[in-house]
Every structure is written in structure tokens, then in C-alpha cells.
Amino acid sequence: MKRVLYFVSSNEGKWREVSSELKDVAEVKWIRRKYPEIQTTDLKEVLSFGLPLLFNELLVEGYEPHPIFADDSGLFIDSLHGFPGVYSSYVERTIGLKGILKLMEGEERRGAEFRCSIGLLIPGNGGGDKMLFFEGVVRGRIGFEERGYDGFGYDPIFIPEEDNPQGLTFAEMTTEEKNRRSHRGKALRKLKEYLLKTP
């Protein structure tokens, strides 16, 4: 019998990637909601703050005490000194991809990286809860225009370096193709490896 995990996110694109990568090792149930965030430049700090609060909320609402995990990700652009970073989702909602491309008009240095941190909270039986982190990074560059219709967020302007001779954006790849190269895919495979090794 597969273990049950709760994945908390309001982002359907993240859910597609998570369910695709973990379907063989766990029954992942999607809790579709946002989690409380603090203002910090560290992805792990956001998860350390939000996951315990979420877990307690779910218990109050009558959910079983299964392990819970969430993902915090960001796009860090070299020439913008790491902006938008941990504020990536807010920046996407406010100025959008066109706003990022506008900020980079005339900029030749287009290097960037996506970073993902997955936090897993495992409730303790009579003891303290355990929090684990699984991280992934992918280097790439920002394109000059939006390309592709799959994916979500900054995928149409991010071109990963790894195993990408055609220079496709993440939005021009299938979920499986993106997972093989992406920051989230790398973090998810570390989580998967942990789940396979841990009874």
C-alpha cells in the first residue's frame, strides 16, 4: 500500500509536475490552497514558517495526520542581481513576463537560474515533527520573447542549458521533458529517492 502525502499549492502547473514525478512511490493528495509566507530572501525559511502552520490547519479541519510538503521556487536573473528571486510569483502577477523582458531590453548578459526548495514535514509520533528539504537548481538564460504554450509562470522565457540542443524554452517542452531538466524535477527526484529508501 502506497504512503499518503499531502501536497499544498494553489498552482495547478506545479501539481501536474509533482503528480507525474511521484505517482509510482506515493499517493499524493492535492490540497489546493496558498500557504502563509514571510518576507525573506531564503526559500527554505518560507517553507519552515509556512508548513507547520498549514499542518495544524489541516488537523483542525479534520484531515488525517499524513506528511505534508510544499515547494517554493524562484527565478534568479544574473543581470538583475538575483531579481525576482523569492518574489517571483508576486512579480509575475504584477508586471508579468513582458515586464521582465522590458527590464532586460538591450541586456546582453541573459544568464539566470531557477531554484526550487521542497519542504517535507513528517509528523512525529509522540515526539517532535521532522522537517526535511530537497533542493534543485537549473541554469539557463532569459529569451528575447515568449515562446511555447505548456508549463506556467516564467517557462515561456526561460531556456535551460542542460540537454537542450534545440534551445527550447520550458514552455515548449512536455511536462515529462521539463521534469527531466528542471529545478523542480531535480528536487522531486531527491524527494522520491528519500521516499524509496524510507519505510
As a whole number of angstroms, the distance between CA 129 and CA 80 comes to 38
Q: How far apart are CA 111 and CA 66, in angstroms?
A: 40
How far, CA to CA in Å, does 129 sit from each of 8, 28, 51, 92, 141?
17, 20, 11, 34, 39
For residue 43, give the nearest of 192, 185, 191, 183 by alpha carbon.
Answer: 183
- Exposure b/e, 158-182, CB count within 10 A at least 16 = b: bbbeeebeeebbbbbbebebbbbbb
Measured distance CA(58)–CA(64) in Å, rounded: 8
* Neighbouring residues of 91: CB distance < 8 A, sequence distance ≥ 6: 83, 84, 99, 100
Q: Which residues, listed in sequence order, are joined to residue 122 by a DSSP beta bridge?
A: 130
**Is 78 an active-site residue?**
no
Candidates 72, 78, 155, 163; catalytic one: 72
| Catalytic residue list | 72
